[in-house]
Structure 1
Amino acid sequence: MAERTTQRRDHQLMPTFTDEKRAQVRESLREAGRELFVRYGVRKTTISELTESAGIGTGTFYQFYDSKEALYVDILEQYNEALIPRLLRESVQKYDDPEIAIAALLNATLDEFESNPLLQRVLAENEVDHLRNSVPDEKLQEKRTHSMEFFLPYIEDWYDEGKVVGPDPETVAETIRTVSRIALKKEQIGEQRYPKVRDTLVAAVAAGLTREAESSEASDE
């Protein structure tokens, strides 16, 4: 009974925010997360460090996010909203040849993985499994589906035109997406060998998804 009374009192003490203020607080938490996650990684960053940097109480944090991992995923989603259109401009929107476009998309994506400080920290600290275990599967699947929606239409057009091969456009898109995760294996592959492995894999996948289709078209003729 006493515990329920305390919880009710704590809830009543929680500040209420206008929509504008909520947006400001959420962005403050994102800014704090971007700085602290790069500095310490997700696991070592504490909720109190995030809220202190954002200028809010610790209890208020949970009005916005269920966990610090959820905050990180939200930061990535915001980041992807700007990144993915740029990746498309540098690849599938720039080149008519699907093989060149797919290779360009993979290389641009890998360049981003290997240069962005926020992504680098998570990769370097091997926190990917921690994030997968901390964020609900349905939430991760929602993020994956949303990211694929950006470039799936291009794959579907190539597929309909017989320019790429695979069981279906979604499988082709997922194959391309999966190859970009080679950045997670950089440490295992080795610093010196990784560039050659990366180049070989990108070229093989881009060619393999398109040249069989070209050969099929040639034999039909």
Structure 2
Amino acid sequence: MRGFSDEERDRIRANLRSVGRRQFTKFGLEKTTVSDLTEDLSIGRSTFYRFYDSKEELYLELLEAEGEAVAERMAAEGIGQGEDPEAVVKDFLEFIFQEIESNNLLRAVLIEDELDRLRESRTEAERKADRQEDIAVIRSFIDPFIEAGRLHGTDPTLVARSIAAIPYLSLHEADIGEDHYPEVRDFVIETFARGLAVEDGSTGTEGSR
């Protein structure tokens, strides 16, 4: 079996990523087969496995690239910046919900219940690293507020995990009802952000609440 030139490898990988994004977004991870990914490109399954060990690996590569793009959009929009802790937390949550609800690939992961399947393809160490990375993003903008006593709670990791938990509300859109979900989402974001921020004269510790 002949090898590929660097140019050919780059082209095939780019094509697999493009087809993978389209297939995963439309059909989800479980219903997409390796054959679905290769037929459009007129390559064999054996060629696919020269680039990826599994379709899950391709999916995770796409998600990683999407995560980098989301981080760039956050920076461009100034998310996580500002002097008002309530506004910063509120803006962050609104941004994340907007990404989940408008980004078809991210929505497919969360809403279409692909999380369990993806978790199974990752080691515990890899899953822990993913969680730590997500928490680190949030801590980058909440730690100064906590140190200044402007957010309730003294454990920044706990506060960050609590913020990270809010977007999982999107998993329950069907349970809440499509007609009511936007109003419930907005109410939860506003109430959580307001409750997390310390009012003037408060210390931000648990005992001050």
TM-score by length of 2: 0.83
Equivalent of residue 68 in structure 2, options 61, 81, 84: 81
- Corresponding letter in the other structure for 1:43: E
Quote how far apart the aligned CAs of 1:78 are: 0.2
1:111-160 CA-partner distances (Å, limit 9, x unpaired): 11111122333444332223223433333333333334334222222222
Identity fraction in percent = 38
Q: Does 1:190 align with 2:177?
A: yes
**Any conservation in 2 of the 1:69–1:135 contact (CA below 8 Å)?**
no
**Partner in structure 2 of residue 100 of structure 1:** 87
- Corresponding letter in the other structure for 2:80: V
Task: Note closer, same or farther for the CA distance 1:159–1:23 as it changes in structure 2 (3 Å cut).
Answer: farther
RMSD: 2.5
Worse-superposed segment, 129-138 or 64-73? 129-138
> Structure 1 stretches of 5 or more lacking a match?
1-12
**Any conservation in 1 of the 2:89–2:193 contact (CA below 8 Å)?**
yes
**Partner in structure 2 of residue 32 of structure 1:** 19
> Structure 2 stretches of 5 or more lacking a match?
none
Counterpart CA distance in 1 for 2:131 and 2:201 is 30
**Partner in structure 2 of residue 200 of structure 1:** 187
**Any conservation in 2 of the 1:92–1:98 contact (CA below 8 Å)?**
no
SS of equivalent to 1:92: coil
Moved over 6 A (4+): none
Task: Note closer, same or farther for the CA distance 1:136–1:214 as it changes in structure 2 (3 Å cut).
Answer: farther
Quote how far apart the aligned CAs of 1:17 are: 4.1
The structure with the larger Rg is: 1
Q: How many residues align?
A: 204
**Any conservation in 1 of the 2:146–2:154 contact (CA below 8 Å)?**
no
**Partner in structure 1 of residue 44 of structure 2:** 57
TM-score by length of 1: 0.79
Equivalent of residue 175 in structure 1, options 162, 180, 192: 162
